[in-house]
Structure 1
Amino acid sequence: MTSTEGRLLGASDVRRLAAELDLVPTKKLGQNFVIDPGTVRRIVRTSGVTADSSVIEVGPGLGSLTLALLETGCRVTAIEIDPRLGARLAATITEFMPAAARRISVLIKDGMALTPDDLPDCGQRRDLTLVANLPYNIATPLVLTLLQRFDSIHGFTVMVQKEVADRMVASPGGKAYGAPSAKLAWYGHAERTGIVGRNVFWPMPNVDSALVSFTRERRARDDDMRRRVFEIIDAAFGQRRKTLRHALRGLVSEEGFLQAGIDSGRRGETLGIEEFSALAREAEGDADACDVR
């Protein structure tokens, strides 16, 4: 880790900054701020970020994780939806780690609306890493959206509610396995890389959190195929109790199941991403055959 003159936020610092902003953390925005320097350093260490990295941080809040990232010497683009927090972040970096102020850019924007056009300085020109402490209600939609829009994101490390982490990393047949698990697997491999207790947050949530690390494996972009695969996934899990034969009626014929080598009596929760992809290819073939007739 690069040694950068400055220090990280402690509990008293977080409460002082919040008081200066007259900020009362809200559940709506998932505002639980990390007050433990050891935890944010652990997240950064798990992410593998180095001085050569270019990092996107969504939801920097008061800057606890931001400072830990900058401590490595990396470049950070912070995306903050709350104008008060976004406006204060640069000043916080200048106060606590002045030498790093030139390595951070702050964009006031909803992370779900972020596009490569918003990041001309790092956009598609180099590999990007996403590192963030994400609210549970947007975590999975956000990472799926960013992976779709940013080919240059090669991986991420995020802290999320433990239940959300379980869904992200679940394997076929597991209790937590669902559409989000399968869709994330389309892009690459996710694994849980740690548990984080609730006592490191202010205000303290009523659940534990976990770290999820992800490595992108799908190299070629194919938006048409992705849409077909995701349509199959949504249909299969939309009627989770039904067999594939019934859940995918109108999408995949019995002949399509045979060609894909998949028993139509199975349920969607037993299929891995390659099997969903095989069904999507057969669904395309069925549609072409109907067009010919």
Structure 2
Amino acid sequence: MDAFAKPRGSAGSFRNFRERVAVEIREASPEEAPVAMQWDGGRAGPMETRWHDGSHWAILDRETDVTRRGVTAAEIFRIFDSPMDRNFYSLIRGYFEKSDYSSVDLDRSKFVDFDDRSLLQAHENVRAWADDCLIVDGMLYTRCPEPMYHVGVGGITVVIERPKETREGRRFETIANPFRTATLFRADRYEEAAATFAAAWPNQPLAPEPPITVLVEESLVVDADRDCLVNTCIDALTMFNRESMMTIPPAVLATLAPIAACLWNTAKVDVDADAAHAALTGLSEAVRATGYDLSHMDGNPSWAIDIAIDRWDNRPVALPSMTAPGGPRR
């Protein structure tokens, strides 16, 4: 990994210093890491994730110059064993926020003001990368988010996206557009994704695409309806913050305070979803009553807000059994 140092006699220039650090990459059998989800990746071919240690894992076969169809463990060891192999950066490119291509091997004795803090941080980074790696059947996999459907103008696609505030800057990281979470649906909700597409783009035919095949039910863990609701509240506040307060009707402006109260000093996982739903509903009703036009904002907020409210109103709810197994019927 990289650390920065100042060469002796230099006029303030800095160069990279590369130092080897040993890490451990876990290995699991195909039985220990079974295929969890499969789908048609189009030109990329069949895609899949495996389920292990409470996470999804995707084979490292995209966004790398090493190969287009996967990286074997033997290839990983060969790359790591060669200090000058530039493919090392292909393995981590896009995983860290600021991966670098310009590292060179230099003698540490030629440097002054060596930044040990940067070196230690580099060691921590590579250990974090290794912790998100898994070898299955001789191939390298990386921990990834749960595959979901994205409903867009071109149809329904499968995406692997990590929330912006989680594992910042790592592989599969995407910065979502405002209100995009209204278009994300869990792998077992293809019909709802299709219905959303029909409502959003009624004049466009939905090309037939095979849905995700879920092979491990316990790998469905994302509460997409809740994520949609909370993220829409955040997006709404962000967008209104960019507006002139003089142009927002007082009735609409008054509904922003309850939304802010739901999020104030609260982690997203701890937000009261029912309170957020009530606050967002108040905003939607005020916008409708005042005729305030949101179309000039990015992300089609009126549509996204209504989708978030409707999804929470109609979310699947698991009801307890009316009769205990073996108990009397009523």
> What TM-score results when the alignment is normalised by the length of structure 2?
0.27
Higher Rg: 2
Structure ranking higher on relative contact order (CA contacts 8 Å, 6+ apart): 2
